[in-house]
Amino acid sequence: MAALALGNLLASPAAAFEMRRQDRLAALYSNQVVFDRQGEPLVSVRVTESQAAVDVTSAGRLTLMPGGDDGARVSAKAGARWTVTVEEGRPAEVRWWVIVDQIGARDLAGAARAREQWRRRGHPEVELIEAGAVIGLGGTTLDTRRRHVGIDPQADRDAAEARAAELAGELGVSTAVLGELVRRPGGWIVARDARSGFEIRAKDLLWITPEAPEKGPPPTVDLPDMEWGHGTPKRGRADRSYHGDVYLAVGRDGKLVAVNLLSAEALLEGVVPSEIFPSAPEAALQAQAVAARGQLLAKVGTRHRADPYLLCAETHCQVYKGQTRARPRTDAAVRATRGQLLFDARGLVDTTYSSACGGHSEAFHMMWGGPPKPSSPGRYDVADGSLDPLVPPGTPEPEAARIVAAFVERPGQSWCAASGGRSKVYRWTKTRTAAQVDAAVDAHAGRTVSPIHAIRPVRRGVSGRALAVEYVGGGGRYVVEGSYENRKLLGHLRSGMWVVERVGARPPGEAPAKWRFRGGGFGHGVGMCQHGAIGQARAGRGHDLILKHYYPGSRLETAW
Ligand SMILES: [Zn+2]
Ligand SMILES: [Zn+2]
């Protein structure tokens, strides 16, 4: 497949906008990131999908390029409204793999070993799927590629998700699902201007660029009454406007997708305001901008390998609503940290973050599996906080529960105590009735485990977060893997750092009337603590110090 010649693009960044149709099509499925004229990486974000028709307009002039730059260009009058549809839409052919392991992109021996190992364990089909991206940064290359080990392929996503859940239980490993494109989707993209009757037909792809006016910023490309969040529980219609280019292509299901191509920096300006309180102190906003930039690049090439774009605009990737009202404080934080990323000896740091760690953050590998990440070991969230675990690995219950209970009881000196305390996320209590817990566990198990008389974490992370929980009831025992899975099951507990008490005098071995959960923190607790970053910024610490606290051993570099 024709990958973009990145070297050429770097030599002449403007070439990113002077691609032929074939190059543009290849770029849609490529994990080579290209750059704009300012030297900022361009990312493609799907803004709507599965559409029969999408309307496109602009206050300014638009150039429609049905054949890429080497083909016909149509310069549309300002205010023209195009209705775009697909004819002869043909869905993609995708195989969905259950991902059971990851290997470095250059570890060929490891790849061969994995293939052999999974075959021997009774999985005849093993595929090594490359995910991640190669990003050329003035002389150096940022390579986030990994090989994902896929087994037991399925024809649709739901079947693969079901198989992934089964395998996670059987093998005791964390699994994921990844689609591999076998055949690209295609069709005729037809744009009609109702007023003039003018019609443009383009094979597979229609590119739309706003024309820069003599003075002032380029106008936005507007998608009136656009459906967002298709296929998610939260969806709706809204008028949306986008800076940068917009292209229309045929999605996996053979229907229309609209994608916004814009610089990573412009995308961050749209993303950061919904990630943190825009009123947070400047250094906390800057730390957030750097962490969000790292997450953005880490996701590029790993999320939508079978789609004609890199990222979606929903919570799956990052919520992005296009050009909305100006947010001067967060925009300033993004601009002040332009191109800044965190690196350690192994490359780009996976800058995960969550609302409040509760006083001790969790280790990345404990929460999500894989080898330990030195930059996310979990630590006490105080100045010069130790990297010692709160709960040493292997500590048995109820000793582990006693340690967590004592920590949750302690009044906070942590960076997140003040700001998190005001938001009621530093320490919290939730009560669930026995009936609520019984119903949730039975539904999850698909059998009767109730009445539950004991809830016992069987594995905890370094911060004491419950990573696997055993429910003991009249119908036997049932173990649920995963911190988030258990939080959800127990009625959306704020974090995995919790201890549970029986409420109502009943002898052990009998179900209590209620369960009371006492806990600390909000979110997964891995990486940066956002309330802690606010606490540190209020204490006068700069964004580089804040980041080095949450990602120990990392260094801040300006990549573009
Ligand atoms: Zn996504
Ligand atoms: Zn914290």
Q: What pLDDT digit, counting tens, does each position of 401-429 carry? A: 999 999 999 877 899 998 888 888 999 99
Please say which residue of 130, 164, 183 terminates a domain.
183
pLDDT tens, 137-180? 666 677 888 889 999 999 999 999 999 989 988 887 778 899 99
Task: Tell me, yes or no, whether 314 and 365 share the same domain.
Answer: no
Task: Give me ligand 1 centre to Cα 312, in Å.
Answer: 4
Q: Are 337 and 293 a contacting pair, CB within 8 Å?
A: yes
Q: Are 430 and 517 a contacting pair, CB within 8 Å?
A: yes
Task: Tell me, yes or no, whether 137 and 226 share the same domain.
Answer: no
Query: Could you tell me the strand order of the sheet in which 347-348 lies?
Result: 347-348, 340-344, 555-558
pLDDT tens, 224-271? 999 999 888 889 999 999 988 999 999 999 999 999 999 999 999 999
Task: Give me ligand 1 centre to Cα 487, in Å.
Answer: 23
Distances (CA, A) of 328 to 270, 272, 331, 334: 11, 11, 5, 10
Q: Does 356 score more than 50 pLDDT?
A: yes
Task: Tell me, yes or no, whether 22 and 143 share the same domain.
Answer: no
Ligand that comes closest to the CA of residue 418: 2
Q: Does 15 score more than 50 pLDDT?
A: no
In degrees and rounded to multiples of 5, residue 324 shows phi and psi of -115, -170
Q: Which helix (H) or strand (E) holds 307?
A: none
Ligand that comes closest to the CA of residue 359: 2
Percent helix, strand and coil across the chain, each to the nearest 5: 25, 35, 40
Residues in contact with 290: Cβ distance below 8 Å, sequence separation at least 6, in sequence order:
337, 340, 341, 342, 351, 543, 547, 556
pLDDT interval class at 468 (50, 70, 90): very high
Residue 528, pLDDT score: 98
Task: Tell me, yes or no, whether 179 and 112 share the same domain.
Answer: yes
Q: Which residue has the tokens 């260094």?
A: 555
Q: List the beta strands (DSSP E) in 106-255.
A: 126-131, 134-137, 140-143, 146-154, 176-183, 186-193, 199-203, 205-210, 221-228, 236-242, 245-250
The larger pLDDT score, comparing residue 29 to residue 535, is at 535
Q: Are 545 and 383 a contacting pair, CB within 8 Å?
A: no
- Strand pairing partners for 515? 432, 502
Ligand that comes closest to the CA of residue 179: 1
Whether residue 226 lies inside any domain: the answer is: yes
Q: Does 291 score more than 60 pLDDT?
A: yes
Task: Tell me, yes or no, whether 311 and 442 share the same domain.
Answer: no
In degrees and rounded to multiples of 5, residue 246 shows phi and psi of -130, 135
Q: Are 324 and 330 a contacting pair, CB within 8 Å?
A: no
- Mean pLDDT along residues 437-443: 97
Q: In terms of residue numbers, what domain contains 271?
A: 6-91+185-336
Please say which residue of 316, 336, 356 terminates a domain.
336
Task: Give me ligand 2 centre to Cα 357, in Å.
Answer: 4
Closest CA to 46 of 312, 302, 360, 240: 312
Cβ neighbours, 10 Å, residue 392:
12
The span from the CA of 310 to the CA of 299, in Å, is 8
Closest CA to 59 of 239, 192, 278, 328: 239
Domains of the chain: total: 3
The span from the CA of 7 to the CA of 29, in Å, is 18
Q: Which helix (H) or strand (E) holds 517?
A: strand 514-520
Task: Give me ligand 2 centre to Cα 344, in Å.
Answer: 22
Task: Tell me, yes or no, whether 317 and 443 share the same domain.
Answer: no
Ligand that comes closest to the CA of residue 47: 1
In degrees and rounded to multiples of 5, residue 215 shows phi and psi of -140, 160
Helix 282-299 to helix 264-271 angle (10° resolution) is: 120
Task: Tell me, yes or no, whether 117 and 200 share the same domain.
Answer: no
Ligand that comes closest to the CA of residue 229: 1
The span from the CA of 514 to the CA of 68, in Å, is 64
Burial grade of 347 (CB within 10 A; 0-12, 13-18, 19 or more):
exposed
Length of the chain: 560
Q: Does 20 score more than 70 pLDDT?
A: no
The larger pLDDT score, comparing residue 108 to residue 255, is at 255
Q: List the beta strands (DSSP E) in 427-497.
A: 427-433, 452-460, 466-473, 476-481
In the numeric block, which tokens belong to residue 351? 């800058």
Task: Give me ligand 1 centre to Cα 46, in Å.
Answer: 8
Task: Tell me, yes or no, whether 305 and 199 share the same domain.
Answer: yes
Whether residue 372 lies inside any domain: the answer is: yes
Q: Which residue has the tokens 């409204």?
A: 81
Task: Tell me, yes or no, whether 74 and 193 share the same domain.
Answer: yes
In the numeric block, which tokens belong to residue 32? 């080579």
Ligand that comes closest to the CA of residue 414: 2
Q: Does 325 score more than 90 pLDDT?
A: no
The span from the CA of 198 to the CA of 66, in Å, is 14
Residues measured by CB to lie within 5 Å of ligand 1, the ion: 303, 312, 316-317
Please say which residue of 149, 183, 217 terminates a domain.
183
In the numeric block, which tokens belong to residue 159? 């079947």
Q: What is the CATH number of the domain that holds 174?
A: 3.30.70.1070
The span from the CA of 176 to the CA of 97, in Å, is 8
Q: Does 27 score more than 80 pLDDT?
A: no
Task: Tell me, yes or no, whether 42 and 105 share the same domain.
Answer: no
Residues in contact with 233: Cβ distance below 8 Å, sequence separation at least 6, in sequence order:
none
Task: Tell me, yes or no, whether 192 and 327 share the same domain.
Answer: yes
Task: Give me ligand 1 centre to Cα 179, in Å.
Answer: 13
Q: Does 3 score more than 60 pLDDT?
A: no
Choose the weakest-confidence range: 6-10, 106-110, 194-198, 537-541: 6-10
In the numeric block, which tokens belong to residue 145? 């590629």
In degrees and rounded to multiples of 5, residue 378 shows phi and psi of 85, 135
* Start-end of H helices in 62-201: 108-120, 157-171
Burial grade of 182 (CB within 10 A; 0-12, 13-18, 19 or more):
exposed
Ligand that comes closest to the CA of residue 415: 2
Percentage of the chain with pLDDT > 70? 94
Whether residue 1 lies inside any domain: the answer is: no
The span from the CA of 414 to the CA of 357, in Å, is 9
Ligand that comes closest to the CA of residue 45: 1
What does DSSP assign to residue 320?
Answer: -
pLDDT interval class at 6 (50, 70, 90): very low
Whether residue 62 lies inside any domain: the answer is: yes
Cβ neighbours, 10 Å, residue 111:
17
Task: Give me ligand 1 centre to Cα 157, in Å.
Answer: 14
Whether residue 486 lies inside any domain: the answer is: yes
The span from the CA of 543 to the CA of 351, in Å, is 14
In degrees and rounded to multiples of 5, residue 483 shows phi and psi of -65, -50
The span from the CA of 126 to the CA of 128, in Å, is 7
Residue 238, pLDDT score: 94
Residues in contact with 337: Cβ distance below 8 Å, sequence separation at least 6, in sequence order:
286, 289, 290, 293, 543
Write down the mean pLDDT value for the chain. 89
The larger pLDDT score, comparing residue 72 to residue 214, is at 214
- Rounded to a whole number of angstroms, the CA Rg of the chain reads 25
Q: Does 507 score more than 70 pLDDT?
A: yes
Task: Tell me, yes or no, whether 229 and 121 share the same domain.
Answer: no
Closest CA to 77 of 94, 64, 88: 64
Task: Give me ligand 1 centre to Cα 300, in Å.
Answer: 10
